[in-house]
Structure 1
Amino acid sequence: MSISLVLIWFFLRRRKRNERLRSLLKTGLKNPYRFEEFAREYLREHGFKKVRVTRKSKDFGADIVAKKRGRTVVFQVKLRSSAVEKSVVKELVAAAYIYGAVEVGVFTNGEISQSLEKELELLESAGGFIKKVHVVKNITPEEL
């Protein structure tokens, strides 16, 4: 019986978190700064630690700085109605260098362009200081 209660508690807790994320996303789809707040919470729910949104300006190309398995990760967060283009790679590399990150990521509500996808693959396989690339795309309220 106690196992059943624990399972019910976990289920209800998860459902409440998903409802909170869905609500944040709905407001975030109207405001890029709220979308960054949603991205922060989404990343926390998906295993990232010490997730923080950077300043709105003079952030050196990083919108979010987080930790995963002891490694620093910088994210570019893009609220877009069109695909995110490869120009974000320069900002990611610069931000990674400045923040001491060895992992980078793109977080968007939409798609990423094929050219960006190729650039990110090259960045990850180049053997430089970037060890891993994270891509979170097509985030919609229905997904949560």
Structure 2
Amino acid sequence: MIYIILSLLSFSLLVLFLQWGKKRRKQDLRNLLEAGLKNPYRFEEFAREYLKEHGFRSVRTTRKSKDFGADIVAKRRGSTVVFQVKRRNSTVEKEVVKELVAAAYIYGATEVGIFTNGELSTGLKKELEELKRSGGFIKRVHVVKNINPEEL
């Protein structure tokens, strides 16, 4: 009987610890986002941590210049994904697609993504749809948009 009670107590403590860790990670992300909304490099750090929390692995930011259009390179289900990170007060325009395709080719990626706190322009949405349908080497497009502290 004592073993059952100890097992239940241990399990309860583990659950509490895991919940506390998850809550702390969310608060850390929220703090990083608030800093990132003021500084584009901190926004890239936030994007990196956000992607890690949402299933991407080997997530790394590229250097600040001469990165061939990739801000983040990550892995997901065995595929390489390149992301453009755009901290904006306005919409993200379609020129991003050219940079994404070039970066994907250079980094050997088969998936591309846009990570932004803003909206996507109509032209960009059309370009991304066309990219998905093209049947080229880009197999998937990820879009993370409208990121704000209230969502975390």
Which TM-score applies when normalising by structure 1? Answer: 0.97
Alignment of 1:11-50 (within 5 A): 11-50=19-58
Q: Distance in 1 between matches of 2:108 and 2:11?
A: 44
Runs of 4+ in 1 over 3 A off after TM superposition: none
Deviation of the 1:5 alpha carbon: 2.5
Amino acid in structure 2 at the alignment position of 1:36 = E
Q: Secondary structure at the match of 1:65?
A: strand
Deviation of the 1:86 alpha carbon: 0.5
Aligned to 1:138: 146
For the pair 1:71 / 2:79, whether they are aligned, the reply is: yes
Q: Secondary structure at the match of 1:88?
A: helix
Alignment of 1:120-139 (within 5 A): 120-139=128-147
Aligned to 2:126: 118
Q: Distance in 2 between matches of 1:108 and 1:83?
A: 9
Q: Secondary structure at the match of 2:14?
A: helix
Stretch moving more, 4-13 or 62-71: 4-13
Amino acid in structure 1 at the alignment position of 2:117 = N
Larger Rg: 2
Deviation of the 1:6 alpha carbon: 2.6
Amino acid in structure 2 at the alignment position of 1:89 = V
Deviation of the 1:117 alpha carbon: 1.0
Aligned to 2:14: 6
Q: Percent identity?
A: 72
Structure 2 residue runs without a partner (length 5+): 1-7
Deviation of the 1:3 alpha carbon: 3.4
Corresponding pairs, count:
144
Amino acid in structure 2 at the alignment position of 1:34 = R
Q: Secondary structure at the match of 1:41?
A: helix
Q: Distance in 2 between matches of 1:73 and 1:35?
A: 18
Q: Distance in 2 between matches of 1:138 and 1:5?
A: 36
